[in-house]
Amino acid sequence: MRNQVHKRLTTKAVKFILEAYDQGKISRQTAMFQLGLKTNRFHYLLKSYRKNPEKFSIKYPRDTPNYKLPKKIDRLIYTELEKEKAVIDNPKISIRRFNFEAVKDELARKSKVKISAKTIKNRAIDSGFYRPKSQPGPFREVETTAVGYLFQHDSSLHYWSPFIPYQFYLIVTTDDYSRKILYAQFVYFESSWAHIVAAREVITTCGVGLAYYVDNHSIFRFVCHGKSHWQNQQVKTDEGFVQWKNAVKKTGMTVWYAPKARAKGKVERKFRYLQDRVVRRCAKEEVKTIEEAQRILDEEVHHYNCEHVHKETKEIPEERWQRAIEEGKSLLKPLSLKDKQSLKDIFCLEYRRVVSGYGKISFENQSFSVPNLRKTKITLRYIPDDKYPEIRIVYKDKVIKVVKL
């Protein structure tokens, strides 16, 4: 039955039925059936009738006027929807559906127009733009109980702009509890050093957490793929040296591995969100360099962290992050350095060498002298920064020489 009784009956008819019920001429079930109402709505109308029978009315008062958008705003919406359709129809761009939330944010950013995504969707339907999409699956429940409990970390290779003819990587780190994006950076090539830099930025900015959560990529884990007839594999899984894992463990954090790619649902949804938003803007703004794409990425990450209400937590990630810290729901702690230790001793690429009888070692086709440690095993800590690369020669956990490259 429809609860909109004012569309089916007149005020006079409703008053007649309620009066008959009050006088005991008909039962409550009969009155509800004649009015076509359920229990709560029936008692609401009965209470209103008994309060003032003379002024009782079922006319529906509309709280807000039937507001019509100005033609100027309608044109802005139509123009933005045309741009969306051009992006969707472009075979070079891997986007095949509309994102009305993104259109809403784009209008607010460029034209200072605040319109609901529902209104934009209605305009898209009226204009013949809208394409129906499948209903999203259920969200997972929140699993962790504090910020810093788990940092989900991964990378994505993608065509981020149709005006850049090659793919490049996006490296992302997100906090599992708050859903806040802690790090997002475009890089031309994926390497151990790129992921070490990501860990360095997260840990020095936010603090040392409990664990990193990654997949089984060779950058993150050494995996032995079973026995071989052609070689004797003596090093088993997790026994091989991994640069990124070594750097993370030196901070005091541990590393957990996802059994399957879909087990990292939270960080994968971040990639989906950023691909949907960044690619659209790169296409519309004709982005041709990775630096311009990084600017758009930074803006979208700030919007996600500080303005976007997460569908699962129903909170803004930055506010959820800050509230958890204020309530003591945090496992973060500052990074502690040993005496005379530098960040370069933690976040680096380590290599083992043996000093020759002539007191020299070689690295990357270069020779360095270590005269006092002949026939001795030493460690090279390589920091391949673009501006000031250097090698720190370490013996018994002490830096004995620094070579600037």
The pTM of the full predicted model, rounded to 2 decimals, is 0.71
State residue 142's pLDDT score: 44
State residue 199's pLDDT score: 96
State residue 231's pLDDT score: 64
Give the pLDDT confidence of 63-79 residue by residue, as tens digits: 555 557 788 888 888 88
Please give the C-alpha separations between residue 347 and each of 214, 245, 387, in angstroms, as whole numbers.
Answer: 18, 10, 16
Distance CA 345, CA 247 (A): 9
Displacement of CA 78 from its chain's centroid (Å):
29
Q: Which of 222-226, 269-273, 297-301, 356-360 has the lowest mean pLDDT?
A: 222-226
Residue 1: pLDDT band (50, 70, 90) is very low
Nearest by Cα to 210 from 330, 346, 344: 330
Mean pLDDT across 196-223: 93
Q: Which of 16-25, 46-55, 104-113, 325-334 has the lowest mean pLDDT?
A: 104-113
Output the six-digit token pair for 101. Answer: 């939330």
Distance CA 283, CA 279 (A): 6
Distance CA 192, CA 245 (A): 9
Displacement of CA 137 from its chain's centroid (Å):
17
Give the pLDDT confidence of 277-319 residue by residue, as tens digits: 999 999 999 999 999 999 999 999 999 999 999 988 899 999 9
- Give the mean pLDDT of the chain: 86
Q: Are 328 and 177 in contact (CB under 8 A)?
A: no
Percent of the chain, pLDDT > 90?
Answer: 41
Q: Are 170 and 186 in contact (CB under 8 A)?
A: yes
Which is more confidently placed, 134 or 320? 320
pLDDT of residue 129 exceeding 50, the answer is yes
Residue 179: pLDDT band (50, 70, 90) is very high
